[in-house]
């Protein structure tokens, strides 16, 4: 079961990444697209807790860092999504989360994830953009991620719930 779970999670991440760079680039607003990998990490965290979410975040971040057309210092998205997994995991409740709670979690995580990535860029990249640019991108990214939450999160959470053998269906 664990093997199946890992394979399916990896597959979901790969699909999210490919959609993000091919399909959503056509819908991009100001060049910013919804971060589907981040949404998957949040969904995992809300259903299964911080530990699997952080592992998934690490894998997804690595994918974002290395797969074409990425060209930044590798490990930056990995770091951002590991932290997203941690934050979302801490926000998880025992009961099934309400819609408002899910949206709030996504907004917070999107802000944390994009900001951590942007800040690491300020430290590491020789041609880091200015702070007003960073804030604009972070703002648009949060709006995009929240806008896509109703379409992605319920399906992803239902999927991860079905994969979870220990959990009784809520």
* Closest approach of other proteins to the CB of residue 54, in Å: 6
Distance in angstroms (rounded) separating the CA atoms of residues 30 and 35? 14
Positions in the binding site for other proteins (CB under 8 A): 14, 17-26, 28, 30-33, 35, 48-52, 54-55, 58, 61-79, 82, 86, 89-92, 94, 114, 117-118, 120-121, 124-130, 133-134, 136-137, 140-141, 166
Given a contact cutoff of 8 angstroms between Cβ atoms, the answer to whether 61 and 12 are in contact is no
Q: Which residues contact 93 (CB under 8 A, 6 or more apart)?
A: 101
* Closest approach of other proteins to the CB of residue 105, in Å: 12
Per-residue CA distances from 169 to 1, 88, 148 (Å): 17, 21, 25
* Closest approach of other proteins to the CB of residue 150, in Å: 21
* Closest approach of other proteins to the CB of residue 87, in Å: 10
Q: Which residues contact 139 (CB under 8 A, 6 or more apart)?
A: none
Output the DSSP codes for 67-134: STT--S-TTHHHHHHHHHHHHHHHT--SSPPPHHHHHHHHHHHHHHHHHHHHHHHHHH-TTPPPHHHH
* Closest approach of other proteins to the CB of residue 96, in Å: 14
């Amino acid at each position: 079961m664990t093997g199946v779970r890992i394979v399916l999670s990896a597959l979901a991440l790969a699909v999210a990444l490919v959609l993000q760079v091919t399909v959503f680039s056509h819908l991009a607003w100001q060049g910013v697209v919804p971060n589907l990998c981040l949404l998957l990490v949040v969904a995992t965290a809300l259903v299964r807790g911080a530990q699997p979410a952080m592992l998934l975040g690490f894998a997804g971040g690595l994918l974002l860092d290395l797969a074409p057309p990425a060209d930044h210092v590798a490990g930056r998205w990995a770091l951002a999504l590991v932290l997203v997994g941690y934050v979302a995991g801490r926000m998880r409740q025992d009961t099934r989360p309400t819609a408002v709670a899910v949206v709030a979690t996504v907004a917070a995580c999107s802000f944390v994830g994009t900001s951590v990535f942007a800040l690491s860029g300020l430290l590491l990249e020789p041609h880091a953009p200015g702070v007003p640019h960073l804030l604009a991108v972070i703002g648009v990214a949060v709006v995009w991620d929240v806008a896509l939450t109703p379409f992605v999160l319920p399906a992803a959470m239902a999927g991860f719930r079905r994969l979870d053998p220990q959990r009784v269906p809520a």
